């Protein structure tokens, strides 16, 4: 069976049929990945009546099935031979009940759907396949890290190397130093399990990193010249877009090169996947800064502590750290606008909390209130080597604004404590939870590349690891949804204002009501 295709045989109607009913078998439509009922099967009269009743009440919507597949080497190298997976003889996997993932296994993007809504989008499940498209002794793999630092990068590097070597017997593994430009301007290093044995205990990246430097043709020329046939790319959305370009160029040249992406961002802003590696570690480390701020402000009169955390466009670290801490009075994130002065503003809230408790702690994500800071300092748009907009220091700005208001306007004594643990958080080694997660990511990427998949990225979707088209994780930035329960939980925890005026609140309620009235027919 061709591993680049998949056929699904059945779909249970247990929710719409009587308890004793059978399965409704499906046959694929010849022109799409939608699977339609097979009319050739027979049911009892009672079941048939139940099916007709179900069909009369939107059963057709249940028939929609979408598989967002990833490319495979046989798509452009149709005569590529396959080989038995070496894991068949692995001592470690000999005790596993089901060693190999079935080519029919998929992971649903959404697991909570309405009773008669479409089945929705699915991704190919990650894991080892029965057939591989590389001989172990012919594999020459390389690993590269790009962009900013994040806890867990070294663990991913280590587990790719150990996974290739221990599971598949691959010995020729190269480390590309210094990011994308390392392909054509830096030396490489030879990676073995012994070389990477303890790198997971350190922060940063063992291979060093850089921003920018992506030149598709130069990189692929280097891959071809060196005889590399597996490329593992660790980086954020910009890095993953670069990985997709590398895949497209290798496919265009007809090269047997598997390109696998491992998405990295400490901000947890990658779409589709449950969370990014290093995020749990970042939230845990942020607690230390919040706790320090809380101790400081409790010990002085009118203590105001501001903790600035990462989050350019997404406030996940700030939100989760706030929820975990329970010592935070107010959380400011890029997704939720706020204002300082007037009724319902931040100054009024701070004054109220100081009167009640004598102190307060504010957590602010680095992207929050950037429009106010820019207006104050008359800043111009500047970008880093990756094309990201350089943000202004909103923590210092907010500290100054609060201090000026209460000392000059309210004539109050304010003891300001400002903590910015940004680089401390992202430079530390990953914790136990992230170490396990990084291992699963690395092994899933190795299994996918050995099975001949290419141009894919890997990550957990509803707690099941899947192979995802790179374009899906780079098409948008994952952000905190202010209409979701998690943000509601935070507001209930801190009891902070929504910072929305009455007119704006009415407009927002109208928008939310319109969204709730929409009959969603696809997921």
Q: Is the pLDDT assigned to residue 13 strictly greater than 60?
A: no
Pairwise pLDDT comparison (160 vs 5), residue with the higher score: 160
d(CA 411, CA 400): 15
Interval 55-80 mean pLDDT: 76
Q: What is the pLDDT of residue 51?
A: 38
Whether residues 335 and 401 share a domain: the answer is yes
Q: Is the pLDDT assigned to residue 35 strictly greater than 60?
A: no
Helix (H, G, I), strand (E, B), or coil: what is residue 360?
Answer: strand
Interval 478-490 mean pLDDT: 94
Q: Which residue is catalytic, options 64, 172, 267, 269?
A: 267
Does the annotation flag 476 for ligand binding? no
Does the annotation flag 148 for ligand binding? yes
Closest-CA residue to 162 (of 126, 192, 127): 192
Q: Is the pLDDT assigned to residue 42 strictly greater than 70?
A: no
d(CA 56, CA 232): 50
In a domain, 93, yes or no: no
Q: Has 267 been annotated as catalytic?
A: yes
Q: What is the pLDDT of residue 375?
A: 87
Does the annotation flag 327 for ligand binding? no
Q: Are 487 and 480 in contact (CB under 8 A)?
A: yes
Q: What share of the chain has pLDDT > 90, as a percent?
A: 71
Q: What is the pLDDT of residue 307?
A: 98
Whether residues 370 and 232 share a domain: the answer is no
Q: What is the pLDDT of residue 508?
A: 53
* Residue 224: band (very low, low, confident or very high) from pLDDT cuts 50, 70, 90: very high
Whether residues 213 and 295 share a domain: the answer is no
In a domain, 371, yes or no: yes
- 395: domain CATH number is 3.40.50.460
Q: Which domain holds residue 161?
A: 131-276+430-474
Q: Is the pLDDT assigned to residue 164 strictly greater than 80?
A: yes
Whether residues 337 and 464 share a domain: the answer is no
Tokens in use for 466? Answer: 């899947």
In a domain, 346, yes or no: yes
Q: Is the pLDDT assigned to residue 347 strictly greater than 70?
A: yes
Does the annotation flag 312 for ligand binding? yes
Q: What is the pLDDT of residue 36?
A: 39
Closest-CA residue to 462 (of 120, 211, 160, 143): 120
Helix (H, G, I), strand (E, B), or coil: what is residue 180?
Answer: coil
Across 30-34, 229-233, 335-339, least confident range: 30-34
Residues 357-416 pLDDT 10s? 999 999 999 999 999 998 887 666 676 666 667 788 999 999 999 999 999 888 888 999
Whether residues 242 and 152 share a domain: the answer is yes
Does the annotation flag 310 for ligand binding? yes
Q: Is the pLDDT assigned to residue 43 strictly greater than 70?
A: no
d(CA 381, CA 340): 24
Sign, CA torsion 305/308/309/313:
positive
Does the annotation flag 267 for ligand binding? yes
Q: Are 271 and 478 in contact (CB under 8 A)?
A: yes
Q: What is the pTM of this model?
A: 0.82
In a domain, 390, yes or no: yes
d(CA 449, CA 134): 9
In a domain, 487, yes or no: no
Domain end, chosen from 393, 411, 426, is at: 426
Pairwise pLDDT comparison (286 vs 342), residue with the higher score: 286
Whether residues 419 and 437 share a domain: the answer is no
Interval 448-469 mean pLDDT: 97
Whether residues 193 and 327 share a domain: the answer is no
Does the annotation flag 237 for ligand binding? yes
d(CA 299, CA 80): 70
Residues 317-329 pLDDT 10s? 999 999 999 999 9
Whether residues 202 and 339 share a domain: the answer is no
Pairwise pLDDT comparison (10 vs 81), residue with the higher score: 81
In a domain, 182, yes or no: yes
d(CA 259, CA 333): 35
Q: What is the pLDDT of residue 49?
A: 45
If you count them, how many residues does the chain have?
523
* Residue 24: band (very low, low, confident or very high) from pLDDT cuts 50, 70, 90: very low
Interval 442-469 mean pLDDT: 97
Does the annotation flag 236 for ligand binding? yes
* Residue 510: band (very low, low, confident or very high) from pLDDT cuts 50, 70, 90: low
Whether residues 208 and 257 share a domain: the answer is yes
Does the annotation flag 175 for ligand binding? no
Whether residues 295 and 410 share a domain: the answer is yes
For every residue of 416-437, DSSP letters joined together read EEEE--HHHHHTSPP-HHHHHH
d(CA 110, CA 216): 35
Whether residues 403 and 442 share a domain: the answer is no
Interval 425-436 mean pLDDT: 96
Residues 177-213 pLDDT 10s? 999 999 998 789 999 999 999 999 999 999 999 998 8
CB atoms within 10 A of CB 211: 20
Does the annotation flag 178 for ligand binding? no
CA distances from residue 459 to 249, 364, 463, 468 in whole angstroms, order as listed: 24, 28, 9, 8
Phi, psi of 49 (to 5 degrees): -60, -40
Structural domain total, the chain: 2
Burial 112-148 (b: 16+ CB within 10 A, else e): eeeeebbbebbbbbbbbbbbbbbebeebbbbbbbbbb
In a domain, 119, yes or no: no
Q: Is the pLDDT assigned to residue 302 strictly greater than 90?
A: yes
Whether residues 435 and 316 share a domain: the answer is no
Q: What is the pLDDT of residue 410?
A: 83
The mean predicted confidence, pLDDT, of the chain is 85
Q: Is the pLDDT assigned to residue 521 strictly greater than 90?
A: no
Q: What share of the chain has pLDDT > 70, as a percent?
A: 81
Residues 133-143 pLDDT 10s? 999 999 999 99
Does the annotation flag 404 for ligand binding? no
In a domain, 402, yes or no: yes
Question: How far from the centroid of its chain's Cα atoms is residue 183's Cα?
Answer: 26
Does the annotation flag 448 for ligand binding? no
Q: What is the pLDDT of residue 304?
A: 97
Q: What is the pLDDT of residue 409?
A: 85
Does the annotation flag 366 for ligand binding? yes
């Amino acid at each position: 069976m061709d591993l680049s295709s998949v056929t699904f045989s059945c779909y249970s109607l247990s929710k719409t049929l009587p308890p004793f009913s059978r399965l409704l078998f499906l046959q694929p439509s010849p022109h799409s990945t939608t699977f339609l009922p097979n009319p050739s099967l027979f049911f009892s009269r009672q079941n048939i009546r139940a099916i007709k009743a179900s069909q009369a009440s939107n059963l057709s919507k249940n028939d929609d099935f979408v598989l967002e597949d990833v490319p495979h080497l046989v798509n452009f190298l149709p005569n590529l031979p396959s080989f038995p997976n070496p894991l068949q003889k692995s001592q470690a996997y000999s005790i596993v009940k089901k060693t190999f993932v079935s080519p029919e296994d998929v992971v649903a993007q959404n697991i909570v759907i309405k009773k008669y809504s479409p089945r929705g989008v699915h991704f190919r499940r990650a894991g080892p396949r029965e057939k591989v498209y590389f001989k172990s002794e012919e594999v020459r793999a390389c690993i590269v890290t790009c962009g900013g630092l994040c806890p867990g990068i070294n663990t991913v590097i280590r587990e790719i190397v150990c996974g290739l070597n221990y599971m598949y017997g691959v010995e020729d593994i190269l480390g590309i130093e210094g990011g994308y430009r390392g392909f054509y301007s830096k030396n490489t290093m030879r990676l073995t399990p012994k070389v990477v044995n303890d790198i997971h205990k350190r922060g940063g990246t063992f291979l060093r990193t850089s921003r920018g430097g992506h030149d598709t043709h130069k990189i692929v020329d280097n891959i071809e010249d060196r005889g590399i046939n597996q490329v593992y790319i660790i980086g954020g959305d910009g890095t993953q877009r670069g990985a997709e370009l590398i895949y497209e160029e290798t496919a265009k040249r007809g090269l047997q090169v598997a390109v696998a992406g491992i998405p990295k961002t400490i901000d947890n802003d990658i779409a589709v996947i449950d969370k990014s590696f290093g995020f749990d570690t970042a939230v845990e480390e942020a607690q230390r800064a919040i706790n320090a701020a809380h101790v400081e402000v409790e010990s002085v009169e009118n203590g105001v502590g501001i903790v600035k955390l990462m989050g350019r466009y997404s406030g996940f670290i700030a939100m989760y750290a706030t929820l975990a801490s329970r010592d935070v009075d107010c959380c400011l994130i890029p997704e939720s606008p706020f204002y300082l002065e007037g009724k319902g503003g931040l100054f009024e809230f701070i004054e109220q909390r100081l009167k009640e408790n004598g102190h307060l702690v504010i957590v602010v994500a680095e992207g929050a209130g950037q429009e106010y800071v820019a207006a104050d300092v008359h800043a111009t748009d500047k970008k880093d080597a990756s094309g990201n907009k350089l943000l202004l220091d909103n923590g210092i700005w907010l500290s100054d604004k609060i201090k000026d208001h209460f000392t000059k306007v309210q004539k109050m004594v304010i003891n300001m404590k400002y903590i910015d643990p940004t680089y401390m958080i992202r430079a530390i080694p990953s914790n136990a939870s992230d170490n396990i997660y990084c291992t699963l990511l690395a092994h899933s990427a190795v299994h996918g590349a050995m099975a001949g998949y290419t141009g894919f990225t890997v990550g957990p979707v509803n707690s099941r690891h899947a192979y995802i088209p790179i374009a899906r994780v780079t098409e948008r930035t994952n952000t905190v949804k202010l209409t979701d329960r998690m943000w509601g939980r935070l507001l209930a925890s801190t009891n902070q204002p929504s910072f929305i005026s009455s007119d704006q609140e009415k407009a927002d309620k109208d928008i939310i009501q319109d969204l709730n009235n929409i009959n969603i027919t696809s997921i």
